Amino acid sequence: MSLVGELASLVAETSFGDLPGHIVEAAKMHILDTIGGSYWGRHEGNSGRLVDLVSSFGGSPEATLWGEGRKVPAIWTAFVNGYSSFYISDTDRFCGSHAGAVVVPAALAAGELAGVNGKDLITAVVLGYEVFSRVGLALFPAISRKGFHATGVIGPLGSAAAASKLLGFDRQMTTDALSIATLSGMGLGEAFRYLDAVSLNIGRVSQAGIMAALLAQKGYKGSDTILEGGSFIPDGFLSALVGTYDGHVITGGLGREWKIVNSAPKIHGGCRHLAAPTDVIMAMVVENRIRPEDIEKIRIRQYSEAFRLDRPTVIVRDDAFWSSRFTVSVALLSGGPVYPSMFTDEMVNNEAVRKMMARVTVEADPALDREFPDKWPAEAEIVTGDGMVYHGRIDYPRGEPENEVPVRELIGKLRALAMPDLGSERTTRLIDAIHRLDAIGVDELASIL
């Protein structure tokens, strides 16, 4: 069977009862985490303009724009909600991508369209993550080194898998949907210059999977060897993008090893590569009782991929999302998580932040490259004004499977991000609905959103 055929079989044949209990709970937490991040994304500044644009298109009221109190066609719901979910979305370090911001908005939009229950939604989310992550494993990190935005390339397959499951497709229709979805995968790292471009690409690929599924539902066909190629020309999706790849990472342990557990929630906003430096510095400060005002110098060492994306000069907010100097400095001065609301032009120009940033240097360490992407390590050194020198290292940022954060912390994150929109009472209802998702319908969750 072809690679896409094996993935399609998994999607079509897996039921809620096949999912281990810890995978069900993981799916709930990723749904909760993605929704929380999306509510902050609505306040980022440009979501409102996107809502206005989408609303002007008209169409059937199929699925809920989170926080807007209105419904639009499902493909546009996925676009807007995906756009808003990017800023503090979970990350699968093994494929360098953000599954939640793509899969969860698509699954909820398709779930409303299909009128499914919570068990169906959970199953679709797990399967969306599965397809997303397994294809990503075959492409990363080579695809990023070629200048592509990995999430933008693989995302449509994840959202198409979730939509196909919710629309009740058999194996062949799912194969067609996944194959069609590969035609929509694109994104370039150069777009990271502006956050809007990255966020729009996230929304676009969440939308693309639903569109691919709807096309397959109408009878459009896709190649069943689209991933490996060979039925028409030798190169398929994988080899065309990165040349040599390992197909076994796509199929090995299929149906037994669930990849959703690889996706880690972000505690800090900004690029996930910023998390390890921030976490190791904060751990050193707490352990050694170092006061921010006593710090004279901070030296950070990271693997080359993180250093390549790190922005040494921070002039505006968009720069800050890619700067470990900024994230570390704000964390030190605030004493807590660096939520997206702290990434502002005002914070960038804050005198205390700029003084702290001037004390931070970042460099690439080739020795750490040998551990990436199995680990996303960072080493750090703090020099204080009295001449003391402290050293620290972290292999896994907080949130990774090897360095998990408590569920209560994720719930606290959701409250911090969603309460400005939903208020305390409705936020509590949202948390309760997600905890009970396997016992309710998607319509109940959507009504809260």
pLDDT at 44 over 80: no
Q: pLDDT tens digits, residue range 311-347?
A: 989 999 989 999 999 999 999 999 989 988 899 999 9
Domain that holds residue 11: 3-265+407-448
User: What six digits make up the tokens of 281?
Assistant: 């510095």
Predicted local distance difference test score (pLDDT) of residue 289:
95
**DSSP secondary-structure letter at 405?**
P
User: What six digits make up the tokens of 440?
Assistant: 């309710």
Predicted local distance difference test score (pLDDT) of residue 195:
82
pLDDT at 445 over 70: yes
User: What six digits make up the tokens of 333?
Assistant: 């001065």
On whether both 305 and 392 belong to a single domain, the answer is yes
Question: What is the value of pTM for the model shown?
Answer: 0.95
Rounded to the nearest integer, the mean pLDDT of the chain is: 95
pLDDT at 385 over 90: yes
CATH number of the domain residue 54 falls in: 1.10.4100.10
What helix, strand, coil percent values describe the chain, rounded to 5?
60, 10, 30
Q: Whole-angstrom Cα distance, residue 441 to residue 449?
A: 13
On whether both 199 and 341 belong to a single domain, the answer is no
Residue type, 384: T
Q: pLDDT tens digits, residue range 97-128?
A: 999 999 999 999 999 999 999 999 999 999 99
Predicted local distance difference test score (pLDDT) of residue 69:
83
Predicted local distance difference test score (pLDDT) of residue 196:
86
On whether both 389 and 413 belong to a single domain, the answer is no
In this structure, how many other beta carbons lie within 10 angstroms of the beta carbon of residue 316?
Answer: 11
On whether both 136 and 258 belong to a single domain, the answer is yes
On whether both 178 and 318 belong to a single domain, the answer is no
Residue 149's contacts (CB-CB under 8 Å, 6 or more residues apart) are 187, 188, 189, 191, 192, 198, 201
On whether both 46 and 170 belong to a single domain, the answer is yes
Would you say the C-alpha torsion 193, 194, 197, 201 has a positive or negative sign?
positive
DSSP 96-117: TB-HHHHHHHHHHHHHHHHT-B
CATH number of the domain residue 295 falls in: 3.30.1330.120
> Do 8 and 174 contact (CB within 8 A), yes or no?
yes
On whether both 133 and 278 belong to a single domain, the answer is no
Detail the DSSP E strand segments found in 314-375: 360-364
Residue type, 344: T
Residue among 109, 26, 97 nearest 66 (CA): 109
- Direct distance between the N- and C-terminal alpha carbons of the chain, in angstroms, rounded to an integer: 41
On whether both 305 and 438 belong to a single domain, the answer is no
- Secondary structure (3-state) at 409: helix
> Do 330 and 353 contact (CB within 8 A), yes or no?
yes
416-433: average pLDDT: 93
Residue among 75, 120, 128 nearest 101 (CA): 128
pLDDT at 436 over 70: yes
- Secondary structure (3-state) at 382: strand
On whether both 127 and 254 belong to a single domain, the answer is yes
Residue 282's contacts (CB-CB under 8 Å, 6 or more residues apart) are 331, 332
On whether both 388 and 329 belong to a single domain, the answer is yes
Predicted local distance difference test score (pLDDT) of residue 87:
84
On whether both 305 and 244 belong to a single domain, the answer is no
Residue 45's pLDDT band (cuts 50, 70, 90): low
In the block, which residue shows the tokens 């969603």? Answer: 418
On whether both 279 and 257 belong to a single domain, the answer is no
By DSSP bridging, strand 295-302 and strand 360-364 are: parallel
Strand partners, 262: none
Residue 446's contacts (CB-CB under 8 Å, 6 or more residues apart) are 63, 64, 108, 112
Maximum alpha-carbon separation in the chain: 72
**Structural domains counted in the chain:** 2
